Amino acid sequence: MARQATVPSKQRPAPRAGTINGAQALVEALRREGVEIIFGVPGGASLPIYDALYDAASLRHVLVRHEQVAVHAAVGYARASGRVGVCTATSGPGATNLVTGIADAIMDSVPIVVVTAQVPRAVIGNDAFQEADVTGITMPITKFNSLVMSAAEIPHAVHQAFYLARTGRPGPVLVDIPRDVLQEACVPEFTDEVSIPGYRPVLDGAPNQIAAAVKALAEAERPVICAGGGVIGSNASPELTALVEATGIPVVLTLMGKGALDELHPRCLGMLGMHGSAYANWAVNDADVLLVVGARLDDRVTGRLKDFAPRARIIHVDVDPAEIGKNKSAHIPIVGDAKRVLAVMVAQARVPQIESWWRQITEWRERYPFRYHQNSNRISAQYACDLLNKVTGGRAVATTDVGQHQMWMAQWYRPREPRHFITSGGLGVMGFGFPAAMGAKFACPDKTVVAVVGDGGFQMTVQDLATAVEHGQSLPIIVLNNGALGMVKQWQSMFYGGRFSSSLLRNPDFARVAEAFGARGIRVERPEQVEGALRAALETEGVPCVVDVICDPDENVLPMIPSGQSVAEMILDE
Amino acid sequence: MSEPHSATISVLVRNAPGVLVRVAGLIRRRGVNIHSLSVGPTEDPSVSRMTIVVDTAPERTELFAKQLRKLVEVLRATAIDGTPSVDRELALIKVNVTPGTRMEIMEIASVFRANVVDLTDRTMTIEVTGRTEKVDAILTLLTRHGIREMARTGQVTLVRGPQNT
């Protein structure tokens, strides 16, 4: 990024020898953590940080147009790269605009560090201009947060934040720094030491528990492995793949676990849960042993708890002990890091006798694959997702918002490797997909990154097309436009007698919106145009390309296990 | 007042700003009522002990302890259910007295090994220590004399025997 020549400022007194101010200590601490990019918006309280960034050649700041975009971009960056994402905002409204993204990061266990500026120490608690109790507000949605009350403490606070964010069960950590602390002179002491007496993640699973799990799987007649986001977070895909190939056990994936196993692997049954494949859900329903790895078994996966995997002995592997037994009690609990535990299981693995189990699964698979009907005039959104999968070969990093398009992407997009499907899983954030794709593109500029969004969600963060254009991002944005808040409309259609209360949208022409921002825009209304438009968007260089795909407004996501019900109540056809 | 579904969790925390809010907030957002919460220093001045009595089914208590252990400032969280333990709380009870009732109230206090810590011509303040049931029992007897005000510390607990709580 081009920088103007530094203009000497009368307002910046030269620091005494050996001293720097808190903001400079912050920037140096970030640099020492290997941070290369920060997403943010400046403001009054954070001006000292921006002044320090002006001189920091190795730290790139991406000015976004809304703080929510900064935090979603940091999450996209972290999930695509495995590194810690960083974002910053000023006090008060800047910080409160981050709240949605921080909550998303804790639900999906994403390592990010959030730096917020706070009003000066002397006026904290006085309802000062742009003051908000940010550590109070974010307490339940951060892994840890702190208010730093002296400049000398900044290096340690930052180092601790990165350590906490990326170790154990990853998550967001927030550091709140008053403006006068950012301006305070200090002699910083940078350290690599971390001592947190109350924080000791258990990474190695108990050997006797692992042995019991291996034995249970070897003796199983109908075993299933359920892999979640924890497998991706701990980079355990090679170990998972090795275990599957050593044992032949079928694998189902949670939404967050998509890509943990190559989804074209013959042992992969795809996603389970509310909108998962019928065969994945049937397999779990009939399983006699279920190995759950890095998944927290939330209600969208299990439906009615007592009817989830009712015949199975459950082996539950998680680095967070609080997740084991939270929703479903485990017969063999294993606290540990997925990568380490799976590596030990691979070394001990024995082959179970499951030929007849596979015959049953294959029969289910052939009887009820995902299906859609593409007729000659209205575009099926599923057809568009299926085409995107074919055109990219599942090798692009795909991001989504929440809703119908997210579920269709989950069903039809088959990532071949981990960190290639980035979606707001636990919190289910509209407006997540496009900013997350921007962050992912900054993390992986040489990869194809594509955002797939709904017409409702896109309008929640569309303003940041300006940012993507400014940075020349080659970023296809596929808007599956059905003129509705589609999932809301689907539930109204199925469970509220078709009373479409506030779920129909009158949209702008997204292609022309894109052009107004300086991006490329393509509008697609006919099925035969879809493939060409997707290819054109993927080939567009140096500028985002919005493809407005006008879809059939009446298409529903199926199969569906209605909320709080079980696989027995699965709706397979309209 | 003893709850059929109350459970005790003992928590050792680092003395840091906001710890009390973090612990209380974690319990609150899981939809559980805090029956009592007492905080005080321990043998280590950098560490405080919180004894929390929550209205929850006993089988959920360990899940709460697990969630509490996730807090970075929590050093130890023990669900005390079924473990033999010593439980105590202290109550100060200011009760109405007349020349005619003074002796009777002092007799009640004496039976409960409570101390009279303040006396006026119209009131008496009684300090009673014991298990929650004992405090509830003396309150029942004193109620008909008219309790003007009361302060209770909430329960503190240590596990019996040499093992740590």
Q: Which of A142, A144, A153, A328 to mutate to test the interface with B (most CBs of B within 10 A)?
A: A144
For A515, residues 6+ apart whose C-beta sits below 8 A from its C-beta are A521
- Chain A residues closer than 8 Å to B17 by CB: 147
Give A206's DSSP letter: P
Q: Name B86's bridge partners.
A: B158
ipTM of the modeled complex: 0.87
CB contact (8 A) between residue A139 and residue B69: no
> Which contacts of B24-29 are long-range, i.e. CB under 8 A and separated by 24 or more positions?
B25/A139, B25/A140, B26/A140, B26/B67, B26/B68, B26/B71, B27/B52, B27/B54, B27/B64, B29/A140
- Chain B residues closer than 8 Å to A138 by CB: none
pLDDT-above-90 percentage for chain A: 94
In this predicted structure, the answer to whether residue B133 has a pLDDT above a threshold of 60 is yes
Give B17-63 pLDDT, tens digit per residue: 889 999 999 998 888 889 999 999 999 999 999 999 998 887 788 88
Residues 173-212 of A with CB under 8 A from B: 196-199
B60 inside 8 A of chain A by CB: no
Q: Give the pLDDT score at A94.
A: 98
Residue B97 one-letter amino acid: V
Compute CA distances A381 → A155, A402, A485, whole Å: 49, 14, 14
Lowest mean pLDDT among A349-363, A543-557, B25-39: B25-39
Task: Choose among A139, A147, A196: nearest Cβ to B22.
Answer: A139
Q: How far is CA A151 from the centre of its chain?
A: 33
A69, A461 Cβ separation under 8 angstroms: yes
Gap between the terminal Cα atoms of chain A: 53
Give A145-182 pLDDT, tens digit per residue: 999 999 999 999 999 999 999 999 999 999 999 999 99
In this predicted structure, the answer to whether residue B149 has a pLDDT above a threshold of 60 is yes
- Chain A residues closer than 8 Å to B25 by CB: 139-140
For A5, residues 6+ apart whose C-beta sits below 8 A from its C-beta are none
Q: Name A258's bridge partners.
A: none
Element (DSSP H or E) covering residue B49: strand B47-55
> Which contacts of B26-31 are long-range, i.e. CB under 8 A and separated by 24 or more positions?
B26/A140, B26/B67, B26/B68, B26/B71, B27/B52, B27/B54, B27/B64, B29/A140, B30/B64, B30/B67
**Domain topology for B86-157:** Alpha-Beta Plaits (3.30.70)
Q: Which residue would you say has higher pLDDT here, A456 or A57?
A: A456
Lowest mean pLDDT among A402-406, A522-526, B57-61, B158-162: B57-61
For B163, residues 6+ apart whose C-beta sits below 8 A from its C-beta are none
In this predicted structure, the answer to whether residue A14 has a pLDDT above a threshold of 70 is no
Task: Choose among B21, B25, B74: nearest Cβ to A198.
Answer: B74
In this predicted structure, the answer to whether residue A12 has a pLDDT above a threshold of 70 is no
CA distance A201 to A174: 20
Which residue in chain B is spatially nearest to A170 when comparing CA positions? B70
Domain with CATH 3.30.70.260 in chain B: 6-83
In this predicted structure, the answer to whether residue A75 has a pLDDT above a threshold of 70 is yes
Tokens read off for A76: 């996209």
Give B80-106 pLDDT, tens digit per residue: 978 899 999 999 999 999 999 999 999
Compute CA distances A100 → A32, A48, A67, A134, whole Å: 28, 25, 10, 13
Q: Give the pLDDT score at B3.
A: 43
Identify the residue whose tokens are 């399983």.
A287
The SS3 of residue B151 is strand
For A316, residues 6+ apart whose C-beta sits below 8 A from its C-beta are A292, A297, A323, A324, A325, A328, A330, A332, A333, A334
DSSP string, A92-149: THHHHTTHHHHHHHHHTT--EEEEEEE--GGGTTTT-TT---HHHHHGGGSSEEEE--
In this predicted structure, the answer to whether residue A102 has a pLDDT above a threshold of 80 is yes
Q: Give the pLDDT score at B122.
A: 96
Class for the domain spanning B6-83: alpha beta
Taken in order of first residue, the domains within chain A and their CATH numbers are 20-186 (3.40.50.970), 207-367 (3.40.50.1220), 381-550 (3.40.50.970)
How close A321 comes to chain B (CA, Å)? 7
Q: Name A570's bridge partners.
A: none
Give A26-48 pLDDT, tens digit per residue: 999 999 999 999 999 999 999 99
Give A457-515 pLDDT, tens digit per residue: 999 999 999 999 999 999 999 999 999 999 999 999 999 999 999 999 999 999 999 99
Compute CA distances A156 → A53, A138, A150, A194, whole Å: 19, 20, 11, 8
Q: Whole-number mean pLDDT of chain B?
A: 92
Nearest to B51 by CA among B160, B159, B161: B159
Residue A119 one-letter amino acid: V
Compute CA distances B128 → A16, A104, B72, B92, B146, whole Å: 62, 49, 36, 7, 17
CA distance A555 to A8: 61
Give A289-347 pLDDT, tens digit per residue: 999 999 999 999 999 999 999 999 999 999 999 999 999 999 999 999 999 999 999 99
For B95, residues 6+ apart whose C-beta sits below 8 A from its C-beta are B105, B123, B124, B125, B126, B142, B145, B146, B147, B148
Q: How far is CA A287 from the centre of its chain?
A: 29
In this predicted structure, the answer to whether residue A453 has a pLDDT above a threshold of 90 is yes
Q: Which of A139, A149, A335 to mutate to test the interface with B (most CBs of B within 10 A)?
A: A139
Q: Are strands A520-524 and A545-550 parallel, antiparallel or unpaired?
A: parallel
CB contact (8 A) between residue B63 and residue A321: no
Q: Where are the alpha helices (DSSP H) in A130-206?
A: 134-138, 154-166, 179-183
Identify the residue whose tokens are 């059905």.
A482
B28 inside 8 A of chain A by CB: no
Domain with CATH 3.30.70.1150 in chain B: 86-157
C-alpha R_g of chain B? 18
Across A394-489, where does the E strand assignment appear? 397-400, 421-423, 449-454, 476-481
- Give ∠ CA B42-B45-B50 in degrees, rounded to 5: 40
A187, A19 Cβ separation under 8 angstroms: yes
CA distance A360 to A267: 13
Give the orientation angle of helix A154-166 with respect to helix A22-32, to 10 degrees.
30
Q: Name A144's bridge partners.
A: A173
How close A320 comes to chain B (CA, Å)? 8
Residue A153 one-letter amino acid: E
Q: Give the pLDDT score at A2.
A: 43
Q: Which of B46, B72, B78 to mutate to test the interface with A (most CBs of A within 10 A)?
A: B72
Q: Give the pLDDT score at A1.
A: 41
Q: What pLDDT band is residue A16 in, cutting at 50, 70 and 90?
A: low
Give A219-263 pLDDT, tens digit per residue: 999 999 999 999 999 999 999 999 999 999 999 999 999 999 999
Give A551's DSSP letter: B
- Chain A residues closer than 8 Å to B66 by CB: 321-322
Q: What pLDDT band is residue A13 in, cutting at 50, 70 and 90?
A: low
In this predicted structure, the answer to whether residue A264 has a pLDDT above a threshold of 50 is yes
CA distance B95 to A171: 53
Element (DSSP H or E) covering residue A406: helix A404-412
CA distance B36 to A440: 47
Tokens read off for A296: 């927290």
